């Protein structure tokens, strides 16, 4: 008797399930892409800290080594290891994070070395969004500028993420002062 009651109950309407399932999938795709960007930013921060510390500890201050060994071997080795950590050598990671190319630039000054890791991403091209014109998608004048940037990132150009680290030269007799802001002003 009890089994008949369970079997005779009416279930959820299939129309609602069929209509909501694609929206759920779109939401999941967006969440994975946003999560991928967060993972990429964290990987870039860790990789740039590694690159900066390694450059600080292994680069030379003499002109003969600075233009020879540092540029040819050390900088290229750092770039290879950073690319490997971020995921450029793994096709699954490269596709998930939409990675296009990467650069590691090191600018020397007399007191500070600026280590810059730049990652260029290709557009994720989410098909359901990119088949409509961007002026139709971004028709609300209040958010038009941000919407156009987002549409451009998703469907047309991709993006550029950059992380900078400043590391001092190793053999300086003067105290370190960061080149950004007035960090030590007014403190005693």
pLDDT in tens, 85-133: 999 999 998 988 889 999 999 998 877 889 999 999 988 766 667 788 8
The Cα 113–Cα 9 span in angstroms is 72
Instruction: Tell me the C-alpha to C-alpha distance, in Å, between residue 100 and each of 31, 91, 104, 106, 120.
Output: 21, 11, 14, 21, 5
The H or E element containing residue 7 is helix 2-7
pLDDT in tens, 42-55: 999 999 999 999 98
pLDDT band at residue 188, thresholds of 50, 70 and 90?
A: very low
**Separate counts of helices (H) and strands (E) for the chain:** 9, 3
CA-atom Rg of the chain in angstroms: 25
pLDDT in tens, 138-170: 888 888 888 888 888 888 888 889 999 998 876
The Cα 95–Cα 91 span in angstroms is 6
């Amino acid at each position: 008797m009890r089994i008949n009651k369970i079997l005779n109950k009416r279930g959820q309407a299939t129309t609602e399930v069929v209509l909501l399932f694609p929206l759920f999938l779109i939401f999941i795709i967006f969440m994975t892409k946003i999560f991928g960007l967060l993972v990429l930013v964290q990987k870039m921060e860790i990789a740039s800290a590694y690159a900066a510390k390694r450059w600080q500890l292994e680069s030379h201050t003499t002109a003969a080594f600075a233009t020879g060994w540092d540029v040819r071997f050390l900088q290229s080795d750092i770039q290879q290891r950073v690319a490997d950590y971020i995921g450029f050598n793994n096709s699954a990671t490269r596709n998930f994070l939409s990675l296009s190319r990467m650069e590691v630039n090191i600018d020397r000054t007399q007191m500070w070395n600026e280590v810059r890791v730049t990652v260029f991403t290709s557009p994720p091209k989410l098909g359901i969004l990119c088949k409509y014109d961007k002026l139709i998608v971004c028709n609300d004048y209040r958010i038009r500028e941000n919407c156009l940037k987002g549409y451009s990132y998703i469907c047309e150009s991709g993006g550029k993420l950059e992380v900078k680290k400043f590391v001092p030269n190793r053999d300086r007799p003067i105290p370190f002062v960061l080149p950004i802001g007035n960090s030590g002003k007014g403190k005693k």
